[in-house]
């Protein structure tokens, strides 16, 4: 995932949407659109309740049967809509199946339940295929082809509208319990082989494809494009290295930057400029967890050590 620190105003706006909701009891949401506020609040309860279960599965440690019927489980069971009631039933049943074992081994029902939850999230809504510059949420075939090249595996890229991304990012943040100031700009779904991108990432990429990078020497528009190229490469590297930590992924992304710049219609001059901007401006500004000392010329993550070039 790749994010940026947004202005406080936007963070507060989003936090208000997510957390400033009223109790959902006796309220119901019907329909197939984005999650309603009451459903987001349920999602937050679910995220807090399910995190220790996910950890137990990962570590192969026992899940107490109490977890499936404690107060948090009761709140999860009390879902605010028909679509979430179905998910709640599945996760609680799966919880009991897991808790019946010394080591959580029969994880299939848990992953089936997770899948059912995934199916109601905005990010998994079906989208039409559209080419080029447009503001609608769509599958982008050209970006998909480029991502597949960089990731070295079949990857679908979807670009979201402003309103669509607000829902995608909000739901994702609630589900992953990220710190409030983290606002995602790209999400790699490794299971589905898909990258979802914010409109502010897709727009400069599409413009560059249509008319080349913004003219002139280093300027803000060229930097905005460079950041978009970095995010694009970052998500592709997640698919290429599904187990890799963020800092490793980011380090590979920075080394893709010239190649990606050329794919997106950049000249060799622009590709070199983008590489330097990525190295000297974008990389140092990244979250600490996205950086590592191993990411340097001749370091353990240098794909071409000794070539006298970095990245």
What does DSSP assign to residue 63? -
Closer to Zn ion by Cβ: residue 158 or 222? 158
Q: Closest distance between Zn ion and the C-beta of residue 242, in Å?
A: 11
Closer to Zn ion by Cβ: residue 270 or 283? 283
Q: Which residues contact 78 (CB under 8 A, 6 or more apart)?
A: 25, 88
**What would the DSSP string read from start to end of 116-180?**
HHHHHSGGGS---B--SS-SS-EE-HHHHHHHHHHHTS--EEEE--HHHHHHHHHHHHHHHT--T
Closer to Zn ion by Cβ: residue 213 or 311? 311
Q: Closest distance between Zn ion and the C-beta of residue 247, in Å?
A: 9
The sheet with strand 194-197 has its strands ordered as 2-5, 182-189, 194-197, 156-159, 138-139
Closer to Zn ion by Cβ: residue 1 or 56? 1
Q: Closest distance between Zn ion and the C-beta of residue 172, in Å?
A: 12
Closer to Zn ion by Cβ: residue 1 or 254? 1
Cβ pair 39, 167 in contact under 8 A:
no
Closer to Zn ion by Cβ: residue 135 or 246? 246
Closer to Zn ion by Cβ: residue 79 or 301? 301
Residue closest to Zn ion (Cβ): 1
The site for Zn ion (CB under 5 A) is made up of: 1, 246
Closer to Zn ion by Cβ: residue 45 or 189? 189
Q: Closest distance between Zn ion and the C-beta of residue 285, in Å?
A: 15
In this structure, what is the dihedral angle of CA atoms 78, 81, 87, 91, given to the nearest 10 degrees?
Answer: -10
Task: Report how far apart, in Å, the C-alpha atoms of 66 and of each of 60, 94, 98 are.
Answer: 18, 13, 12
Total residue count of the chain as it appears in this document: 311
Type and span of the H or E element at 5: strand 2-5
Q: Closest distance between Zn ion and the C-beta of residue 292, in Å?
A: 13
Q: Closest distance between Zn ion and the C-beta of residue 20, in Å?
A: 28
Q: Closest distance between Zn ion and the C-beta of residue 290, in Å?
A: 7
Report helix, strand or coil for 277: helix
Q: Closest distance between Zn ion and the C-beta of residue 237, in Å?
A: 8
In sequence order, the β-bridge partners of residue 189 are 194
Among residues 242, 183, 237, 205, which one has the least CA distance to residue 2? 183
């Amino acid at each position: 995932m790749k994010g940026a620190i947004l202005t406080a105003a936007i963070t507060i706006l989003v936090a208000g949407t997510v957390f400033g909701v009223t109790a959902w009891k006796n309220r119901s949401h019907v329909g197939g659109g984005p999650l309603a506020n009451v459903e987001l609040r349920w999602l937050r309860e679910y995220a807090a309740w399910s995190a220790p279960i996910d950890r137990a599965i990962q570590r192969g440690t026992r899940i107490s049967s109490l977890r499936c019927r404690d107060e948090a489980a009761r709140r999860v069971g009390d879902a605010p809509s028909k679509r979430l009631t179905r998910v709640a039933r599945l996760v609680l049943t799966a919880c009991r199946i897991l808790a019946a074992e010394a080591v959580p081994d029969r994880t299939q029902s848990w992953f089936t339940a997770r899948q059912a939850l995934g199916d109601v999230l905005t990010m998994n809504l079906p989208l039409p295929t559209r080419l080029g510059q447009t503001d609608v949420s769509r599958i982008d075939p050209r970006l998909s082809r480029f991502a597949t090249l960089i990731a070295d595996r079949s990857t679908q890229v979807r670009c979201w509208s402003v309103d669509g991304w607000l829902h995608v990012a909000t739901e994702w943040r609630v589900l992953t319990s990220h710190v409030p100031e983290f606002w995602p700009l790209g999400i790699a779904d490794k299971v589905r082989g898909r990258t979802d991108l914010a409109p502010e990432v897709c727009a400069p990429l599409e413009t560059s494809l249509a008319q080349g990078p913004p003219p002139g020497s280093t300027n803000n528009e060229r930097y905005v494009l460079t950041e978009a190229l970095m995010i694009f490469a970052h998500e592709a590297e997640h698919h290429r290295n599904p187990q890799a930590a963020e800092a490793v992924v980011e380090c590979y992304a920075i080394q893709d930057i010239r190649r990606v710049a050329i794919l997106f219609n950049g000249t060799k001059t622009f590709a070199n400029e983008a590489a330097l901007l990525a190295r000297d401006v974008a990389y140092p500004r990244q979250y600490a967890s996205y950086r590592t000392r191993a990411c340097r010329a001749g370091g353990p993550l240098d794909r071409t050590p000794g070539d006298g070039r970095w990245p």
